[in-house]
Structure 1
Amino acid sequence: MKITEVKTFVMRGVERNWLFVKVETNEGIHGWGEASLEFTTLTVQTAVEEMAGHLIGQDPTRIEHLWQTMFRHGFWRGGVVLNSAISGLDQALWDITGKAYGVPVYKLLGGACRDRIRLYAHGGWQTVEPLKELGFTGMKTGPDAENVRKAREIGGEEFALMVDNHGMSTPHEAHRRILDLESYDLLFFEEPCPPDNPDVLAPLAAARYRTPLATGERLFTRWGFRRVLENQWVSIIQPDICHAGGISEGRRIAAMAETYYVEVAPHNPYGPISTAACVHLCAAIPNFAILEYVYSNEPWRTEAQVEPLVVRDGHAELPTAPGLGVDLDEDVLRSRPYEPIPFGHRYADDGSVADI
């Protein structure tokens, strides 16, 4: 079996554009991947199309060989654009390989460690009850203390609360925010500080809060996670399977984390292929914690899938079909073409640039 063509599709979801990658073969088996990236969708699309030159004519089941080729033979390595392109193509190769051998991807990864995948959604205190009615057992929200207090009061002790700080604070500001939220028994406090210098997590880790720290959505490949894990600065890492290097690299990052007893809660705010890829990875790693799921992406998440991934009672069921278990309706993808998304801007009171 040989790869004959790589195609890309950009579909406007609800909050974002989704970038899907389709890899076709001479035996009629195709695979889907996702490389969605806010604000630079078309840049990643071009990177995928350029990187396809490494794959045409190759055996798609040589996943590791092709991953190494894409990562190392472009000479210039790293960064979110190139790693997102690799990630989408890698997912598609796993999809093809699962179909070729007639098994779900998680079986290729060693088999399922669990029977279903726990999901969390997003919202404020007003959405806690609706989410609980849908079966969700956890929610991620912003760092406003009053919002968190109300969410805990409504959700009760058994409802998991997570706070996303979005890397917007200095270490001192993050310290104060975490202390303000200590009494609400958070599952984790995400991205306390900007991702550029992970060493600033050291004093926060040394503070030994009751609240576990999490980071990683803007770290790429195992090399990006190395210092965070070796120094044991966080309790939970959040690799994004669309940016960190795909399923292949996600599995390696999870194995690194396991040696430090760090759990994995993948970042997953994108479309249906990202979610499917995450479900397979999460099924096969022992140190999985919980998976992000944007339920508000409906109806287009479901409409884009020929047979949608089954989500029931706040959990994703493990697919039984070969590969990723999800196929996309290309007519639906084309019916929702790319739309530019305004850049997010945030400024301090004096007009200077602040982190978003």
Structure 2
Amino acid sequence: MRTYATFGGVRNWVFVRVETAEGLYGWGEASMELWHGTMRAAIEELGARLVGMDALASERVWQVATRHGFWRGGAVLASAVAAIDQALWDIRGKFFQTPVYRLLGGPTREWVETYRHAGIYDPDDLQADARALVDRGVRTIKTGAWVSDSVLTETERLRRVRSRMEGIRAAVGDDVDILVDYHGRATPDEAIRLIQAIAEFRPRWVEEPIAPESPELIADVTAEAHRHGISIALGERLFSRWDFRTVLERQLIDVAQPDLCHAGGITETMKIASLADLYRVQMAPHNPAGPVSTAAAAHVAMAISNFSILEQCIDEPRWSQIVAEPWSREGSRLLVPDLPGLGVDLDVNALKAVPPAEMVVPSAAFRADGSVADV
């Protein structure tokens, strides 16, 4: 197990390369904002306990990694398992000389539909970003998560959100889907008022309107969203099928968003997808990370029947600098190559050439009175 951390242009990316005695290797990713050092240590410590196991026995390795440490779950441990699990699936595909999605039962589709971000960190760029993406063929755009709004009163926050939604809808027209991410910042009652404020601009979904610690509190929010024909998406901070169980069984969400870097990797995400399918919930993997995360999510997307759309952040020039062979894109379509394993290889020297950097993504939020707010 060898880990690498490098600056990706916006976030730090954390990768693991798992090598076998027979000379095969696989790549995994567990990029987590603010915690690249912690993630490297967790992967290396967990990985040391797994050395000597059968690299093709990904389910058994997942079970040992998850259950034999006594302490289970949580973002860090689940992410360490996820990175190693991705790498083992990469190895499995290379061993059998076939793409991972074929081993998962695919393909169920010809390409993976993606969406991109506009004005996430600077709302002043929202309309220009959105128009540029549409000009390049992107058909779904996500915005929101504006940390700087935390100091405002609720009335002013909602007024600005409404104004921005009006602007982006005017910029992209009626045929482009708009997604709104609220980063779990609202109380349930504020989330209801948020939906009422933006409903006329026809967002496809509102993502994580309330904090993930008590997702059952989203029931009234979901009911209000459905009255306006808006879906509720949630799940980037849920890390297992057990975490998703409540919102799925109570039919509180329309879109599940597990992150392949954090939700136990390919092995666990496939199980989450199967559970979600019982309730006709669509899968839209959370994926603001690097190329290995994107590859793992894309292979899952190719194989499952209830896939909807994949988040993608192409941070250039770092993406092209570290990837040996880029994947093809056609507008909003990501084409998964017919290559063994995950189909992505990284340049180790390029990873080493650029160390991790201080966090660029906003990582602090406060109210006007100085009290702490959610980022």
Q: 1:251 aligns with which of 253, 264, 270?
A: 270
Partner Cα separation in structure 1 for residue 168 and residue 234 of structure 2: 22
Deviation at 1:340, TM superposition (A): 2.9
Is 1:58 equivalent to 2:75 in the alignment?
no
Counterpart of 1:135 in structure 2 is 137
Cα distance, 1:205 vs. partner?
Answer: 2.2
Contact kept? 2:43, 2:84, Cα under 8 Å: yes
The residue correspondences of 1:154-173 to structure 2 (distance < 5 A) are 154-173=171-190
**1:231 and 2:250 are equivalent in the alignment:** yes
Looking at structure 1, the residues matched to 82 and 289 of structure 2 have their Cα atoms a distance apart, in angstroms, of 13
- Alpha-carbon separation, structure 2, partners of 1:15 and 1:154: 25
Instruction: Look up the match of 1:303.
Output: 321
Moved more, 54-63 or 199-208: 199-208
Q: Is 1:45 aligned to residue 45 of structure 2?
A: no
Q: CA deviation at 1:64?
A: 0.3
Provide the C-alpha distance between the structure 1 equivalents of 2:178 and 2:277, rounded to a whole number of angstroms: 23
Question: What is the alpha-carbon distance in structure 1 between the residues aligned to residue 242 and residue 327 of structure 2?
Answer: 32
Give the alignment partner of residue 18 of structure 1, picking from 9, 13, 20. 13
Residues in 2 aligned to 1:172 and 1:126: alpha-carbon distance in whole angstroms: 32
For residue 77 of structure 2, what is the aligned residue in structure 1? 82
The equivalent position to 2:192 in structure 1, one of 150, 170, 175, is: 175
2:202 match: 185
| Equivalent residue number for residue 112 of structure 2 | 117
CA–CA separation in structure 1 for the residues paired with 2:309 and 2:57: 30
Does structure 2 retain, via aligned residues, the 8 Å contact 1:189–1:212? yes
How far apart, CA to CA, are the structure 2 residues paired with 1:354 and 1:46?
29
1:147 to 145, 148, 164: 164
Identity value in percent: 44
Once residues 136 and 352 of structure 2 are traced to their aligned partners in structure 1, the CA distance between those partners, rounded to angstroms, is 30
1: CA distance, partners of 2:68 / 2:17: 22
* CA distance in structure 2 between the aligned counterparts of 1:241 and 1:80, rounded to whole angstroms: 12
Q: CA RMSD in A?
A: 1.1
Alpha-carbon distance in 2 for matches of 1:206, 1:340: 41
Question: How much does 1:14 deviate?
Answer: 0.7
Q: Quote the Cα distance in structure 1 between the aligned partners of 2:186 and 2:267.
A: 32
Other structure's SS at 1:21 match: strand
Q: CA deviation at 1:125?
A: 2.0
Partner Cα separation in structure 2 for residue 83 and residue 259 of structure 1: 24
How much has 1:212 moved relative to structure 2?
A: 0.5
Q: How many residues align?
A: 350
Q: CA separation in 2, counterparts of 1:183 and 1:115?
A: 34
Shift of 1:206: 2.9
Distance (whole Å) between structure 1 residues aligned to residue 99 and residue 140 of structure 2: 27
* Contact 2:101-2:107 at 8 Å conserved across structures: yes
2:153 matched to which residue of 1?
A: none
Q: Secondary structure at the match of 1:145?
A: helix
| Superposed CA offset, 1:153-173 (max 9, x none) | 221221110000010110111
The letter of the residue matching 2:205 is F
SS in 1 for 2:81: helix
Q: Hey, what's the Cα distance between the residues in 1 that align with 2:243 and 2:36? A: 22
Q: Secondary structure at the match of 1:173?
A: helix
Partner of 1:3: none
SS of corresponding position for 1:136: coil
2:14 and 2:29 in contact (8 A); partners too: yes
Partner of 2:122: none
CA distance in 2, matches of 1:184, 1:322: 43
Q: Which amino acid aligns with 1:253?
A: I
Measured in 2, the distance between the counterparts of 1:125 and 1:96 equals 43
Could you say which residue in structure 2 is the equivalent of 1:270? 289
**Which moves more between the two structures, 54-63 or 163-172?**
54-63
How far did residue 135 of structure 1 move? Answer: 1.4
CA distance in 1, matches of 2:305, 2:203: 22
Which amino acid in structure 2 is aligned with residue 205 of structure 1? T
| Residue pair 1:125, 1:148 contacting (<8 A) in 2 also | no
Partner of 2:123: none
Pairing 1:205–2:205 present? no
Report how far residue 304 of structure 1 moved. 0.7
| 1:216-268: CA deviation from partner (whole Å, max 9, x where unpaired) | 00011101100010011011011000001101111100110000000011100
For residues 97 and 54 of structure 1, what CA distance do their matches in structure 2 show?
Answer: 20
1:93 lines up with 2:88 in the alignment = yes
How many Å separate the matches in 1 of 2:326 and 2:66? 31
SS class of match (1:74): coil
Structure 1 gaps of 5+ residues are 1-5
Give how far 1:145 is off. Answer: 1.4
Match of 2:128 in 1: 126
CA distance, structure 2, for counterparts of residue 231 and residue 25 of structure 1: 43
- Aligned equivalents of 1:71 and 1:139: distance in 2? 35
Counterpart of 1:314, as a letter, is: S
